[in-house]
Amino acid sequence: MTDHPAVEAVDLVKHFGATVAVDGVSFSVPRGTVLGLLGPNGAGKTTTVRMLTTLSPPTSGTARVAGHDVRTEAAAVRRAMGLTGQAATVDELLTGRENLWLIGRLSGLSRRAVRPLGDDLLERFSLSDAADRVVKTYSGGMRRRLDLAVSLIASPSVLFLDEPTTGLDPRSRIDLWEVLRGLVRDGTTLLLTTQYLEEADQLCDDIVVIDHGRVLASGTPTQLKDQAGRASVVVTVSDPGRLDEAELLMRDCFAEVYVEPAARKLTAQARGLADVATIGQRFVAADIGVDDLGLARPSLDDVFLNLTGHRAEPDGPEPEADDDPDHQLEGAAR
Ligand SMILES: Nc1ncnc2c1ncn2[C@@H]1O[C@H](COP(=O)(O)OP(=O)(O)OP(=O)(O)O)[C@@H](O)[C@H]1O
Ligand SMILES: [Mg+2]
């Protein structure tokens, strides 16, 4: 086996007329790992994925998937990869099973091979019961799962997922994460885009934060959080009437205490876990009841806020219309 990364992007740029959608993005995804492209609406996530999956030629820069150049070896790239695009691409008038068979056959699998693979995927994505119903009758979550199953039929070594869990309920999202972790355990490399910080935190080995087509930061989730600042001690007192007392008590221990009266919450910068123990004892001694007391590390949300100047908005403004003529290729790229 060669030791090339599963995906490598070098200075990728994409212009649409005067719009610079992607403005010099570079990263590398080692085989068997998960990279998250994290960014708000319009950041350039889909455009980057489309360049990597041969659907849209880069204006400049290069990219390789499984060692193959996306521009000059597109066919080899397509054989190595799977794609679940941002919009569902399954055929509404076919059943779930037929969709899987169709794409399996189109990717060159024999009739004999495609059946057990299809059954296995239907099972894995909890679609066995619905396998013979037309997709038109599926819920959004079921479609999303079928979309994923379809992109896996040809056992790709690299899987691209453009916002795989957007629109799913929390339960389905967690189920899907579990399926994705299973794929990674079996050696698949994942590149996913997401606007959900928790998703990036839960699934990704590395995160690349992009906005306005540029990389703002990259690193492991922990590295990014460390960058966002230190941990804090957070106390929520039970009785709002004792908030002042609690504040005085905290001020004994910390130089700065931040009070949110409506939430009955007090926050101070922590030096470590010992601070939590000390404060806990002081509250017990003073007999001030608390609903919650603990050490809070900065979240990816804080990271995102620091970098982009705004919080992540999973349900933010609508993505703009896609008038790229090579969009139709999306279905053929599996
Ligand atoms: N086919 C196109 N023609 C013109 N402009 C485009 C096209 N595709 C994308 N853009 C523009 O490029 C920029 C990046 O879009 P892109 O779809 O890559 O963002 P995104 O990060 O995927 O956003 P979202 O989270 O909304 O899916 C946006 O300003 C968008 O309007
Ligand atoms: Mg997108």
What pLDDT, on a 0 to 100 scale, did the predictor assign at position 69? 97
Buried-exposed string 8-39: b where 16+ CB fall within 10 A, e elsewhere: bbeebbbeeeeebbbbebebbbebebbbbbbb
What pLDDT, on a 0 to 100 scale, did the predictor assign at position 319? 40
Ligand 1 pocket mutation, candidates 15, 19, 55, 323, criterion most atoms within 8 A of CB: 19
Ligand number nearest to the C-alpha of 312: 1
| Confidence check: pLDDT of 328 > 70 | no
What pLDDT, on a 0 to 100 scale, did the predictor assign at position 315? 45
Topology adopted by domain 7-226+309-333: Rossmann fold (3.40.50)
Average model confidence (pLDDT) across the chain: 87
| Confidence check: pLDDT of 109 > 70 | yes
Q: Where are the domains of the chain?
A: 7-226+309-333, 230-297
Residues whose Cβ atom is located within 5 A of ion ligand 2: 45-46, 86
What pLDDT, on a 0 to 100 scale, did the predictor assign at position 2? 60
Ranges 74-83, 167-176, 289-298: which has the least confidence? 167-176
| Confidence check: pLDDT of 102 > 50 | yes
Ranges 120-134, 164-178, 252-266: which has the least confidence? 164-178
**Gyration radius from the chain CA atoms:** 24
| Confidence check: pLDDT of 325 > 60 | no
* Residues 230-297, CATH architecture: 2-Layer Sandwich (3.30)
CA distance 159 to 192: 8
- pTM for this model (two decimals): 0.77
Q: Judge contact between 267 and 232, C-beta under 8 A.
A: yes
What pLDDT, on a 0 to 100 scale, did the predictor assign at position 293? 93
| Confidence check: pLDDT of 79 > 80 | yes
Nearest atom in ligand 1 to the alpha carbon of residue 43 is 21
How many A from CA of 19 to the centre of ligand 1?
9
